[in-house]
Amino acid sequence: MKLVIVGTGYVGLITGACFAEFGYNVICVDKNNDRINKLNNAQCPFYEPGLENLLLKHLTVTKLLSFTNSLSEVVADADIIFITVGTPTKRVENQADLSAVWEVAEEIGKKIFNYTVVVTKSTVPVGTTLELKNILSSNLESDKFDVVSNPEFLREGSAINDFLRPDRIVIGTNSKKSENIMKELYRPLYLNETPIVFTNIETSEMIKYASNSFLATKISFINQIADLCEKVGANVNDVAKAMGMDKRIGSKFLHAGPGFGGSCFPKDIKAFVSTAKKYNIDFSILNAVNDSNAIRPINIAKKILESKKYKKGNTIAILGLSFKPNTNDVRDSTSLKIAKLLIKKGIKIKSYDPKAMNNAKLEINELIECKTAYEACESADAVIIATEWNEFRALDFKKIKEKAKKLVIYDLRNIYNPKELRDIGFEYYGIGT
Ligand code: UDX
């Protein structure tokens, strides 16, 4: 089977590299020449554990993977075309901006000659895949193609594992022929007994948004529980642990913190609310999730500032700038939101992140860049642990005690035992404890 992946962003590259790992012939296309040149040298445009090795293997050893900027040249040979272009939030009305999807549709519609399956893998609002079908129909006979929805559920930082060992695969089709081709495509996972949900196209598109929205709701729920825990003397970690033992609730995505960020949850929730509004459905739950998540970093920054009456000229160290560990992605990072608010109040921010320093500096020039966590803590009036990178999980606090000016820790990810740090002499503030 020959696969063409259009868009070499996060989803496209992981999808391409992993399908090559299954043994398929994969061509990834992007109109960004610079990106294609770099990819042809196995240079990844972002950090994702394991991806560069996979690219190198399939570019140079198996030669199953290749990159090009010419979509029109590769369409005709493809059995399946995956659309994995970006669908950012539009400035107006929070809808997903689908212009990149339509642009690809126009182009491929003119170049398909033999039956081809066209798959939407980007997260797209309900109705998009059928709209894609309409656009393709203006250039193509109906027996020359089928459209399919096959959303991804990849988490940054563990995307390759998520692709190769998914909890489930969702495939939305409206023809037996395309269903069988998709079944064949995922045969390597089918053999591993990965559950595959076959459904109609609209349902498949809904599943993606409903899943992300539910996870985000779970996070916002526990975050508000954490706020109440702080007031009444309860411990949110124990609350979450005991709640999670109930199999109906489950333990995942119940870690209280500074709020969710990243390239998906914030964008997808806004788009989902916007879709619901279009159909006069009041998504009051998701509106509340959105609002409570937006206010969270503001409240946390306020709480930090008020806790020790920091003023202009004080220095605070921030450890972790990416929106989560194992990625250099700072999109909607709560760490950066908090940093900006503190900088606004005249606080100097010394910061360290294992991978995201460069991206963070592009967004906040005032960040004082440090080479290690300990360097960031030097002469600091306080330390904020904002992202739970593994290397922050076992910091030497005796060393930090020698370097820092004041011994105050804000552990926004609850990765430390408050008593242990208090015993060493730190004033410790967690979330919901
Ligand atoms: C998410 C979905 O998990 C994935 O299925 C989808 O395809 C893309 O969006 P990702 O954004 O990479 O993946 O990260 P995820 O691990 O889901 O975390 C998202 C945000 O929620 C992060 O800011 C994280 O710190 C936060 N989070 C997560 C919490 O605050 N608490 C939790 O318990 C879990």
Q: Where are the domains of the chain?
A: 2-199, 200-433
Give distance in angstroms: CA of 225 to centre of ligand 1.
19
Tally of CA atoms within 13 A in the half-sphere of 417 that contains its CB: 5
For ligand 1, say whether the CB of 297 is within 6 Å of any of its atoms: no
Q: What tokens were used for 263? A: 């390239």
Nearest to 121, CA basis, from 89, 92, 90, 163: 163
Protein residue closest via CA to atom 13 of ligand 1:
155
Q: What is the pLDDT of residues 299-327, one digit of tens each?
A: 999 999 999 999 999 999 999 999 999 99
125 pLDDT band, cuts 50/70/90, is: very high
Of 170, 204, 265, 296, which is best to mutate to test ligand 1, by the most ligand atoms within 8 angstroms of its C-beta? Answer: 265
Are 156 and 327 in contact, with CB atoms under 8 Å apart? Answer: yes
Mutate to test the pocket of ligand 1, among 156, 321, 324 (most ligand atoms within 8 A of CB): 324
Digit-coded pLDDT (tens) for 139-177: 999 999 999 999 999 999 999 999 999 999 999 999 999
Residue type, 20: A
155: CA distance to ligand 1 center in Å? 7
Query: Which residue's C-alpha comes closest to atom 26 of ligand 1?
Result: 260
Minimum CA distance residue for ligand 1 atom 9: 264
For CA atoms 267, 296, 426, 345, give the dihedral sign. positive
Task: Single out the catalytic residue among 28, 44, 264, 370.
Answer: 264
Q: How far is the CA of 289 from the centre of ligand 1 (A)?
A: 14
Closest CA to 376 of 356, 337, 404, 396: 404
CATH level 3 topology of 200-433: Rossmann fold (3.40.50)
Cα separation, 255 vs 151, whole angstroms: 25
Residue nearest to atom 27 of ligand 1 (CA): 260
Tell me the mean pLDDT in the region 211-237: 98
351 CB-near residues (< 8 Å, 6+ apart): 317, 318, 319, 321, 339, 357, 360, 367, 368, 369, 370, 376
Domains 2-199 and 200-433 share a fold: yes
Q: Is 323 in the pocket of ligand 1 (CB under 6 A)?
A: yes
Q: Which residue's CA is the closest to the ligand 1 atom numbered 3?
A: 155
- Going from the Cα of 105 to the center of ligand 1, the distance in angstroms, rounded, reads 30
User: Is residue 264 among the annotated active site residues?
Assistant: yes
Identify which of 87, 170, 260 to mutate to test ligand 1's pocket (most ligand atoms within 8 A of the CB).
Answer: 260
pLDDT band at 18 (very low <50, low <70, confident <90, very high): very high
Q: What is the pLDDT of residue 431?
A: 98
Q: How far is the CA of 78 from the centre of ligand 1 (A)?
A: 33
Cβ 264 under 6 angstroms from ligand 1: yes
Answer whether 153 contacts ligand 1 (Cβ < 6 A).
yes
* Model confidence pLDDT, tens digit, residues 237-263: 999 999 999 999 999 999 999 999 999
pLDDT tops 80 at residue 92: no
Q: What pLDDT score was predicted for residue 211?
A: 98
**Residue 345, CA atoms < 13 Å, CB-side half-sphere:** 19
Multiple choice CATH, 2-199, 3.40.1190.20, 3.50.50.60, 3.40.50.720, 3.40.366.10? 3.40.50.720
